[in-house]
Amino acid sequence: MEMTKNGTFPATFSWSFTKERAEDFYYSTLSIDKIRYVHFYRKDRFPDGLGPLNFGMLRHQGLSVVAVKNYWYDKPLTKAGVNVHFVVTEEQAWSMLFHKRADIYIESLQVGEIQKREFLGDDADNIAHTGPFREIPMFILFSKAHPDGRKLLKLWEAYAALN
C-alpha cells in the first residue's frame, strides 16, 4: 500500500474504504469482492452450531471472545462490554480457541480457513464457523501519485461496466 501511495506502483488490492485512504488513492465505484467476518468456535462446545452474533448478543450470552489487539473489532468489543481476551498474534488466538480458553474467535472467513489449518493441523476439523455477521466491500486502490493511476482507474471501471 505504501509503495502505491508514494507512486512506485499504480494500484494495489484489496482494501476496504476509509476516508483517510481516499485522500491518497482513487477508489473505483465498483468493489471487487467482499470480506466476510465470521465467528469460529469449537464444535464440541456448540454441537448444534451457532448463528451469526452481533457484539450485544455475545455479551448477553456470556460468550468469551479471543481477539487480536489493534484489529478493527478491538474498540467495538470493549465498548459493547463483551468478555474479551486480547492476544498479540493470530496463532495465539487459535491456540486459545482450541484449548477452550475462549468460546469465539472473530476472523474473516477466507483468512480463518487458511489459518486454522496452518496453526491447528488435523485438529482444525474440530473448529466450525458461523455465517457472516459483517461484510465489507473491498476495492482496488489506484495511486494518485503514479502517472498511470487515474488512467488505470478509468480502464478498470470501463472493463467492469462491460461485465
Query: 103 and 28 in contact (C-beta within 8 Å)?
Result: no
Give the residue ranges of the chain where pLDDT is below 50.
Answer: none
Closest CA to 80 of 111, 105, 55: 55
| Per-residue pLDDT at 88 | 96
Which residues sit opposite 42 in a β-bridge? 127
pLDDT of 162 reads 82
pLDDT digits (tens, 9 = 90+) for 136-147: 999 999 999 999
pLDDT of residue 14: 86
Identify the pLDDT of residue 89: 96
The pLDDT assigned to 29 comes to 84
- Cα–Cα distance between 113 and 70 in angstroms, integer? 21
pLDDT of residue 26: 94
Q: Locate all alpha helices (DSSP H) within 32-148, ordered by sequence.
A: 55-60, 74-79, 90-98, 109-120
| SS3 call for 143 | strand
Grid cell in block for residue 92: 495465539
Residues 6 or more apart from 150 whose CB is under 8 A from it? 26, 142, 144
Entry field: residues in the chain: 163
What is the pLDDT at residue 132?
96
| The overall pTM is greater than 0.85 | no
